[in-house]
Amino acid sequence: MKGLRLHNSLSGDKEPFEPLHPPFVGLYVCGPTVYNDVHLGNCRTFLTFDILRRWLTWLGYRVRYVRNITDVGHLENDADDGEDKIGKKARLEQLEPMEVVQRYTVGFHEVMQRLNILPPSIEPTATGHIIEQIQMVEKILEQGLAYVVNGSVYFDVQAFEKRVGGYGALSGRKLDELIAGAGAGRRTLEGQDEKRHPADFALWKKASPQHIMRWPSPWGEGFPGWHIECSAMSTKYLGAEFDIHGGGFDLKFPHHECERAQNLACTGQGGPRYWMHSNMLTVQGKRMGKSEGNALWPRDIFSGDHPLLPRAYSPMTLRYMMMQAHYRSTLDFTPDALEAADKNLAKIREALGFLPHLTGSGVSDFSWSSWQDSLFEALNDDLNVPLACARLLEGLKHLHQVAHKQAHISEEDLEALRSFLPRFVEEVLGLQIQATAPSDASALQALENVMGLLIQLRNEARVSRNYALADQIRDRLQKVGIQLADSREGTTWHLQGSSSVS
Ligand code: AMP
Ligand code: ZN
């Protein structure tokens, strides 16, 4: 089996993953700006890197996962303009900025926990690392790659290009395009006229008298720029050179491009060797975002209280749904996708339920070891989680046949599967599933028989045109968590994932 390959945004290619200091892996991911609740889009990005971290751990690596909390410096406009997002919320709600930060950090953790996204090893905050950020800015100034204007410090992109080079390598932006793009309108933005070049960006900003979040610095009272926090915190906890840096696609430029330039200017090293970007969650093809007005919140899904949704879905259904597109592809949110995820999750739940009650005999008529390899191969191929899920379901189909005495599994394969399957589902896919199937094989058989009987009665009711009774059977089964599905081949049933909304 081939080893892990990851797509590196820096080269634009899938590359073999070789950590700097095996078995250790340093992983840094840009965390949330805690001025608001996290929406499903944010969750998707954190889920991607949760699975990466889980997979690296499964492969035997010891992962130090650093995911920060942005609690200062992220301005409304990415071009160093506008109010601080947290400061603005504090002003509007008449709160201390740290009250805003506390509220949304707690909310963020709650959502992460419900989605079973594991906490990082270190969760540093930008406000807790002001000294490190100031030190980094000082070093960049010493290198002659930044300049001070009126209490603010800006990164000198042109000087960097001349002396170090490579600005734009990550995002593919060209410096001259950046100048052209920064047309006349931009120059009127606050602070733009302090910059020598439109592509320059703030490392430290002078605080205006009304600005609430402020710290003393060698350049007067102010606050750090948005990009410097991630350079300072990743360097502090993972070193000047480390393994992987992740975040959403939208952070490639300017955030990550600037982070990389800062790292190179300060330490001579570019920080991470692999840059990974997770694509956007969309709604009707449009990126989900708070400012786009199309954000859905995890609580909408868990309560079902949203015009787009026919009912409530469990956190695990949401998690499974978000795993159904490759992380580098966009994923469009639809209620149908949730419904499909719910059905497939029920299949996994069912299989885990009857797995302990199966009996092995004879020779397997399915190659369970190549099946297991095929799951690993999918994940090793740039974390192809949807392919791994599809292959998982293929295997479960065979297991279903074994449970219904239509196929065989050898004792040896069964034992291996019993130790592998629950661990894979829980530890790698992160699905917390409580098996809901009956506690022994004879009860399973009894349930099959009763369901067969009910389906037959319903068919008879339909034949005699007693549709009210037929519908009643279907609806009342649904109420107790059993879903009937009609097709040309007949009627099948499954346990509904939604019965376990928690
Ligand atoms: P923010 O709190 O805005 O700094 O964003 C936190 C993370 O969520 C970043 O990595 C963003 O790239 C990511 N993100 C924001 N919107 C979406 C979206 N619609 N789909 C996926 N990720 C997103
Ligand atoms: Zn960042």
Q: Which ligand is nearest to the CA of 28?
A: 2
Query: Helix (H, G, I), strand (E, B), or coil: what is residue 496?
Result: coil
* End-to-end alpha carbon distance in the chain: 39
pLDDT, average across residues 87-91:
91
More confident residue, 491 or 29: 29
pLDDT, average across residues 17-36:
97
pLDDT, average across residues 42-52:
98
For residue 435, pLDDT over 70 is answered with no
pLDDT, average across residues 413-436:
93
More confident residue, 163 or 442: 163
The answer to whether the beta carbons of residues 436 and 495 sit under 8 Å apart is: yes
* Per-residue pLDDT, 441: 58
Residue whose CB lies within 8 A of the most ligand 1 atoms, among 84, 250, 253, 290, for a mutation test:
250
- The band of 191, judged by pLDDT with boundaries at 50, 70 and 90, is low
Percent of the chain topping pLDDT 70:
94
* Per-residue pLDDT, 432: 96
Residue whose CB lies within 8 A of the most ligand 1 atoms, among 27, 45, 253, for a mutation test:
45
Centre of ligand 2 to C-alpha 109, Å, is 18
Quote the DSSP letter at residue 387.
H
For residue 442, pLDDT over 80 is answered with no
Q: Which ligand is nearest to the CA of 74?
A: 1
- The band of 263, judged by pLDDT with boundaries at 50, 70 and 90, is very high
Query: Helix (H, G, I), strand (E, B), or coil: what is residue 318?
Result: helix
Q: Please state, rounded to an integer, the average pLDDT across all residues of the chain.
A: 92
Q: Where in the chain is the domain with CATH 3.40.50.620?
A: 19-278
Q: Which residues have C-beta under 5 Å from ligand 2, the single-atom ion? A: 30, 230
Query: Across the beta sheet with 152-155, what order do the strands follow?
Result: 146-149, 152-155, 201-206, 222-224
pLDDT, average across residues 184-195:
59
306-345: buried (b, 16+ CB within 10 Å) or exposed (e) per residue?
eeebeebbbbbbbbbbbbebbbbeebbbeeebbbebbebb
- CATH classification of 19-278, choosing from 3.40.50.620, 3.40.50.11540, 3.40.350.10, 3.40.190.10? 3.40.50.620
pLDDT in tens, 362-385: 999 999 999 999 999 999 999 999
* Per-residue pLDDT, 180: 62
Q: Which ligand is nearest to the CA of 248?
A: 1
Query: Which pair of tokens denotes residue 378?
Result: 């999918």
Centre of ligand 2 to C-alpha 143, Å, is 23
* Per-residue pLDDT, 189: 52
Residue whose CB lies within 8 A of the most ligand 1 atoms, among 42, 171, 333, for a mutation test:
42
pLDDT, average across residues 413-422:
98
Q: Distance (Å, rounded) from C-alpha 29 to C-alpha 234?
A: 9
Query: Which pair of tokens denotes residue 175?
Result: 């410096």
pTM of the model: 0.86
What architecture is domain 282-437?
Orthogonal Bundle (1.10)
pLDDT, average across residues 417-443:
83
pLDDT, average across residues 339-346:
97
* Per-residue pLDDT, 499: 36
Q: In sequence order, what are the beta bridge partners of 21?
A: 24
The answer to whether the beta carbons of residues 407 and 361 sit under 8 Å apart is: no
Q: Distance (Å, rounded) from C-alpha 29 to C-alpha 412?
A: 41
pLDDT in tens, 321-333: 999 999 999 999 9
- The band of 184, judged by pLDDT with boundaries at 50, 70 and 90, is very low
* Per-residue pLDDT, 264: 98
Q: Where in the chain is the domain with CATH 1.10.730?
A: 282-437
C-alpha separations of 242 from 35, 309, 478 in Å: 29, 43, 52
Atom of ligand 1 nearest to the CA of 70: 4
For residue 436, pLDDT over 80 is answered with no
More confident residue, 83 or 384: 384
* Per-residue pLDDT, 79: 74
Ligand 1 pocket, residues with Cβ under 6 angstroms: 30, 32-33, 41-42, 44-45, 70, 247-248, 250-251, 280-281, 287-289
> In which residue are the tokens 């790698």 written?
428
pLDDT in tens, 121-166: 999 999 999 999 999 999 999 999 999 999 999 999 999 999 999 9
For residue 438, pLDDT over 60 is answered with no
The answer to whether the beta carbons of residues 313 and 301 sit under 8 Å apart is: yes
pLDDT, average across residues 225-233:
97
pLDDT, average across residues 212-234:
96
Long-range contacts of 472-476 (CB under 8 A, 24+ apart): none
Atom of ligand 1 nearest to the CA of 34: 2
Atom of ligand 1 nearest to the CA of 45: 22
pLDDT, average across residues 191-219:
91
pLDDT, average across residues 401-412:
94
- Helices 257-267 and 226-238, axial angle in degrees (round to 10): 60
Candidate from 63-72, 308-317, 366-375, 490-499 with smallest mean pLDDT:
490-499
Q: Distance (Å, rounded) from C-alpha 183 to C-alpha 189?
A: 11
Provide the sign of the torsion angle of the four alpha carbons 273, 5, 54, 290, taken in this order. Answer: positive
For residue 190, pLDDT over 60 is answered with no
